[in-house]
Amino acid sequence: MGENGAGKSTLIKIMTGVYHSDEGEMLLDGRPIRVNNSVDAQVYGLAAIYQEPMVYPDLNVAENIFISHRSQGVIVNWRKMYQEAEKILAELDVNLDVRMPARGLTLAAQQTIEIAKAISLDVRVLIMDEPTASLSAHEVEQLFKLTRSLRDQGVSILFISHRMDEVFEIADRVTVFRDGRWISTLPRGEITHERAIRDMVGREIEDFFAKRVGQRGEQLMAVRGLNKENVFSDINFEVYGGEVLGFAGLVGSRRTDVGLALFGVEPADSGEIILKGKAEKIHSPEQALRVGIAYMTEDRRQIGLTMPMSITSNISLPMLHQYLSRFGLIQRQAEEATAEHYRDRLSIRTPSIQQPVAMLSGGNQQKVMLSKWLNTRPQVLILDEPTRGIDVGAKAEVHHIINELAAQGLGIILISSDMPEILAMSDRILVMREGRQMGIFTRQDATQEIVLTAAMGQDRSPLETA
Amino acid sequence: MMQRVKRYFRPEQLRELSLVFLILLIFLFFGTQIEGYFSPRTFNRVTSDVAIIAVVAMGETLVLLTRNFDLSVGSIVGLTAFFTGKLLTFNPDLLPVGALLFAIGLGAALGTLNGVLVAYGKVPSLIVTLGTLAIYRSILVAFPAGTKNVVTQDLPQWLLDLGGMQLFSIGEFDIKPVVAVGLVMLVIFQLVTSYTRFGRRLYAIGSNPEAARVGGLPSQRIVLFAFILCGAMAGLAGFMFLVRYGNLTPAAAQGMELQGIAAAVVGGVSTLGGVGTMIGAMLGALMINLLQQSLLRWLVISTFWVGALLGLMILISVTIDAVIINRLRNIWTQQGLEINPVDETKVVNEKESHDA
Amino acid sequence: MMRRLERLKSWEGFLLAILILIVVFNIFTTPHYLQIQNQINLFQLHIEKIIIVVIMTFIIINAEIDLSVASVMGLAGCVMAYLFEQGVPFGWCLLAGLMTGVLAGLINGFMVAYVGLTSLIVTLAALIGFRGLAHVLLENRSVGNFPDWFDRLGQQPLIGPFPLAMIVFFVFLIIALIILQWSGAGRHVYIIGNNRQVARYSGVNVRRVKMTLYVVSGTVAAIAGLLLAARLGSMRGDTALGTELEVITMVVLGGVSIFGGTGTLFGVLLAILIILNLRNGMGLLNITGEIQTGVIGVLLILSVLGPNIWRGVRDAWNRRQRIQRMHVGEE
Tens of pLDDT, residues A11-70:
887 887 777 777 777 888 888 887 777 777 877 888 888 777 788 988 888 999 888 876
What does the pLDDT read at residue A445?
Answer: 84
Query: In chain C, which residues have their Cβ closer than 8 Å to the Cβ of A285?
Result: 200-203
How far apart, in Å, are the Cα atoms of B62 and each of A50, B80, B211, C15, C256? Answer: 30, 20, 19, 37, 29
Residue B81 parent element (H or E):
helix B73-90
Instruction: Tell me the backbone φ, ψ of residue A220, rounded to 5 degrees.
Output: -95, -40
Q: What is the mean pLDDT of residues C129-146?
A: 91
- Whether chain A has a CB inside 8 Å of the CB on B196: the answer is yes
User: Residue C68's closest chain B neighbor by CA?
Assistant: B311
What does the pLDDT read at residue C1?
Answer: 43
Q: Which of C180, C187, C202, C207 would you mutate first to test chain A, the one with the most A CBs within 10 A?
A: C202
Residue among C116, C132, C288 minimizing CB distance to B305 = C132
Query: In chain A, which residues have their Cβ closer than 8 Å to the Cβ of B330?
Result: 103-104
CATH class of the C2-290 domain in this structure: mainly alpha
User: Residue A320's closest chain C neighbor by CA?
Assistant: C184
CA A404 to chain centre: 24
Query: In chain A, which residues have their Cβ closer than 8 Å to the Cβ of B197?
Result: 72-76
**Tens-digit pLDDT profile for residues B80-135:** 999 999 899 888 888 889 999 999 999 999 999 999 999 999 999 999 999 999 99
Domain with residue B149: its CATH number is: 1.10.3470
Q: Which sequence spans correspond to the domains of chain C?
A: 2-290
Considering only CA atoms, which of C116, C134, C25, C128 is closest in space to residue C77?
Answer: C134
What does the pLDDT read at residue B46?
Answer: 86
- Whether chain B has a CB inside 8 Å of the CB on C295: the answer is yes
Over the range B60-72, which residues count as b (16 or more CB within 10 Å of their CB) and which as e? bbbbbbbbbbbbb
Q: What is the mean pLDDT of residues C141-159?
A: 89
Interface of B with C in 232-261 (CB under 8 A): 258, 261
Q: What is the mean pLDDT of residues A101-129?
A: 83
Q: Which residues contact C273 (CB under 8 A, 6 or more apart)?
A: C19
Considering only CA atoms, which of A307, B127, A331 is closest in space to residue C261?
Answer: A307
CB spacing of C185 vs A303 below 8 angstroms: no
User: Residue A322's closest chain C neighbor by CA?
Assistant: C184
- Three-class secondary structure of residue A384 per DSSP: strand
User: Residue C4's closest chain A neighbor by CA?
Assistant: A308
Q: Which residues contact A177 (CB under 8 A, 6 or more apart)?
A: A1, A2, A6, A7, A8, A11, A183
- Whether chain A has a CB inside 8 Å of the CB on B2: the answer is no
Residue A436 parent element (H or E):
strand A436-442
User: Residue A23's closest chain C neighbor by CA?
Assistant: C323
Residue among C182, C198, C326 minimizing CB distance to A306 = C198
Residue A149 has pLDDT above 90, yes or no: no
CB spacing of B337 vs A105 below 8 angstroms: yes
Give the pairing of strands A428-433 and A243-248: parallel
Give the pairing of strands A156-160 and A125-129: parallel
Size of interface B-C (CB pairs under 8 A): 134
Rounded Cα distance, A229 and B334, in Å:
17
Chains near A with 3+ CB pairs less than 8 A apart are: B, C
For Cα atoms B197, B199, B204, give the angle at the middle one, nearest 5 degrees: 90
CB spacing of C184 vs A303 below 8 angstroms: no
Query: In chain C, which residues have their Cβ closer than 8 Å to the Cβ of A289?
Result: 203
- Whether chain B has a CB inside 8 Å of the CB on A209: the answer is no
CB spacing of B207 vs A95 below 8 angstroms: no
Chains near B with 3+ CB pairs less than 8 A apart are: A, C
- Whether chain C has a CB inside 8 Å of the CB on A365: the answer is no
Q: Which of A43, A103, A135, A136 would you mutate first to test chain B, the one with the most B CBs within 10 A?
A: A103
Interface of B with C in 92-111 (CB under 8 A): none
Please state the domain count of chain B: 1
The boundaries of the domain holding residue B268 are 2-355
- Whether chain B has a CB inside 8 Å of the CB on C291: the answer is yes
What share of chain A in percent tops pLDDT 90? 27
Instruction: Tell me the backbone φ, ψ of residue A239, rounded to 5 degrees.
Output: -120, 130
- Whether chain B has a CB inside 8 Å of the CB on C5: the answer is no
CB spacing of B330 vs A42 below 8 angstroms: no
- Whether chain C has a CB inside 8 Å of the CB on A318: the answer is yes
Residue among A22, A306, A308 minimizing CB distance to C326 = A22
Among A227-231, A433-437, B148-152, the range scoring the smallest mean pLDDT is B148-152
**Tens-digit pLDDT profile for residues B270-323:** 988 899 999 999 999 999 999 888 888 887 777 788 888 889 999 999 898 888
CB spacing of C304 vs B123 below 8 angstroms: yes
- Whether chain C has a CB inside 8 Å of the CB on A352: the answer is no
Which of B183-192, C5-14, C285-294 has maximum average pLDDT?
Answer: B183-192
Confidence of residue B352 (pLDDT cuts 50, 70, 90): very low
Instruction: Tell me the backbone φ, ψ of residue A280, rounded to 5 degrees.
Output: -125, 140
Q: How far is C305 from chain B (nearest CA, A)?
A: 6
Query: In chain A, which residues have their Cβ closer than 8 Å to the Cβ of B217?
Result: 67-68
Considering only CA atoms, which of B279, B204, B220, B242 is closest in space to residue B80?
Answer: B242
Q: What is the mean pLDDT of residues C217-239?
A: 94
Q: How far is A222 from chain C (nearest CA, A)?
A: 22
Considering only CA atoms, which of A14, A12, A18, A122 is closest in space to residue A65?
Answer: A122
Q: Which of B82, B130, B292 would you mutate first to test chain C, the one with the most C CBs within 10 A?
A: B130
Query: In chain B, which residues have their Cβ closer than 8 Å to the Cβ of C291?
Result: 138, 141-142
**Tens-digit pLDDT profile for residues B18-50:** 999 999 999 899 888 888 888 888 888 888 889
CB spacing of A318 vs C202 below 8 angstroms: yes
Q: How far is B116 from chain C (nearest CA, A)?
A: 11
What does the pLDDT read at residue C2?
Answer: 46
- Three-class secondary structure of residue B44 per DSSP: helix
Residue B354 has pLDDT above 50, yes or no: no
CB spacing of B211 vs A78 below 8 angstroms: no
Average pLDDT, chain B: 85
Burial class from Cβ neighbours inside 10 Å (0-12, 13-18, 19+) for residue A369 reads buried
pTM: 0.87
- Whether chain B has a CB inside 8 Å of the CB on A80: the answer is no
ipTM of the complex: 0.85
Residue C147 has pLDDT above 80, yes or no: yes
User: Residue A18's closest chain B neighbor by CA?
Assistant: B214
Interface of B with C in 304-323 (CB under 8 A): 304-312, 314-315, 318-319, 322-323
Q: How far is C42 from chain A (nearest CA, A)?
A: 33
**Tens-digit pLDDT profile for residues C274-318:** 999 888 888 877 888 888 889 999 999 998 998 888 888 888 888
Q: Which residues contact A361 (CB under 8 A, 6 or more apart)?
A: A5, A349, A391, A394
**Tens-digit pLDDT profile for residues B215-242:** 888 899 999 999 999 999 999 999 999 9
CB spacing of B318 vs C120 below 8 angstroms: no
- Whether chain C has a CB inside 8 Å of the CB on A373: the answer is no
What does the pLDDT read at residue B2?
Answer: 60
Task: For residue C110, count other CB atoms closer than 10 A to its CB.
Answer: 17
- Whether chain B has a CB inside 8 Å of the CB on A11: the answer is no
Query: In chain B, which residues have their Cβ closer than 8 Å to the Cβ of C258?
Result: 124, 126-127
Considering only CA atoms, which of C126, C76, C70, C121 is closest in space to residue C100?
Answer: C76
CB spacing of A75 vs B348 below 8 angstroms: no
Confidence of residue C85 (pLDDT cuts 50, 70, 90): very high
What does the pLDDT read at residue B342?
Answer: 40
Tallying the residues shown for chain A, one arrives at 466
Helices C164-182 and C184-194, interaxial angle, to 10°? 70
- Whether chain B has a CB inside 8 Å of the CB on A54: the answer is yes
Residue A44 parent element (H or E):
helix A38-44
Instruction: Tell me the backbone φ, ψ of residue A412, rounded to 5 degrees.
Output: -120, 130
